[in-house]
Structure 1
Amino acid sequence: MLAVATAMEDEAGRRYRQMAERMRLQGQQTLAALFIFLAGIEERHAAQLRRRSEHMIGRLPETAAVAWELPEKFEEEEGRSYLLTPYTALAIAVRNEDRAFAFFAYLASHATTPAIRQLAEELAKDELEHAALLRRERRRAWRKERPRDFVEPVEVHSFLARVAAIETFSAKAHRELSTKLGREGHPFEATLFEKIAGDEERCAADAVEQGAAAPVRPIEGVRPETIRDGLRLLEYAFDQYAEIAERANDEAVLSAAQEFQRRALERLAYAQGAIGDPLVGR
């Protein structure tokens, strides 16, 4: 556990320094400073784990190979002019802090000794705090980079119309992804996204039943081709509803946005939990 934990901290520190440099080159000095700050925290944690390893087992941990989950072509473009936007950088960081939290929480819940449980709980708490900080920054970045078709709903019926459009598109896209995964020999993931599509269809129906403005204008978007794409589509819905809830002035809009935000978060957590952390399996 110490070996994997130390490797995860080392990897996070390295990635945060890479992101800081990308942000600096793009003139995002505040965000660059945030990533430098986080890199320093991760590096101090790695040093603390090495000292703890010497104290607990009498030697330094033999760090394992641990890789962050990164967008396609991120590695290939690392030394080139790949444009990493602030939102994308923060989304990657949040996803990997969540992954680290899931790993340590898994260890804490399955620990057979108090020492392992205590250490895993401490590390899980640290990762949760990092993720919370990054989510706040991601919200700000999303507001600056949000889609051009995003229209702030001023009353509940227009918000419900947007929910119906998002959920209808997502359900169709996730069902198509489910069919594709089934053909490719991934029955577990195919069933997962089929269930998610069913819940999205129920959300769309609920929005219409609650009085969505008609006609509901369908949204356009890229159909997910991979499991990661499917998860990103779930994140998109959550981000839309969270943004509206955060800015709503109308009590009815706020209440509805919070409810659909909750349902979107449940789907996202269910998918991430069911697919599993690559470090610990399903």
Structure 2
Amino acid sequence: MSRLKTEPPAPVRTLEELFAIAHAMEHEAAVRYAEIAERMAHQGNPALADVFTRLSTDEQGHLANVAHWSERLRGAAPNPALIRWRAPDTFDDEGASTTDPWLLTAYRALAMAVRNEERAFAFWSYVAAQAGSPEIQHAAEAMAHEELGHVATLRRERRRTFHATRAEAGSDAANAGPVQDAASLERLLADLLDPLAVEAPHAGRARLKAFAEEARRHALELDRSPISTPASSLLPALPASAVSLAELLAERYLDAADSLRDEGELARVQALAGRAVARLAWLRSDLPELEGAWQSR
């Protein structure tokens, strides 16, 4: 289960403060998921926009429940002015607000939501343990129980999504869908970089050629010693942008490194990840400028 970075800094003193904290947490999650949904829709990924919209709607429902509970027990809506300290972070978008939309999947979005709910459960468990009165303890335990229910619901949905993704991946393989092993992705990246190098101004041409050659060397190495690609990370279609593909490769290497225990293999994949991240940083910052330069000629 996901852990908090820090524990609550002080006990919650009143029910009014507890409701205010709960309201603030649910509000942040609802707003952040809605923002990501808007970005997904704006950048052309309506399927992911629907997932994040649903997550935001769920959080808005939780928000309404907290407000109703506060009004029923204390006769007033939650008051944010009653929060005495900044609550530990329980929401983490794990890069979804900046990652290329085509590199996200429904499974990854739901996995992120599960971890956020787990951190919220841990937070309320700490509040209950620190409570100075039975009233605060019971309310915090009820909040924790609610979050655990959300975890269970999202885990079931994530599991269904995983199995659906595996079935789709099997169908894609049977119908000659996109090959997504790292070696093939490196070759595809090289093929995308070659024409960019030809068109690039002199300042960027050598760097792009070097990246294309490096990608082909990586592909040969990965042919000899492949790394595994989880079914849940497979995409229905591969990005046509060199920057997006470079980001996908960096994520694949970092994800693979997280699951490795063999020190030699870990060092190899970490080296690939390091080169991929360096490549991505350069492409992100300089490729749009180069493209603008040669398009204006």
TM, length-normalised to structure 2? 0.43
Provide TM-score, normalisation by structure 1. Answer: 0.45
Between structure 1 and structure 2, the one with the greater Rg is: 2
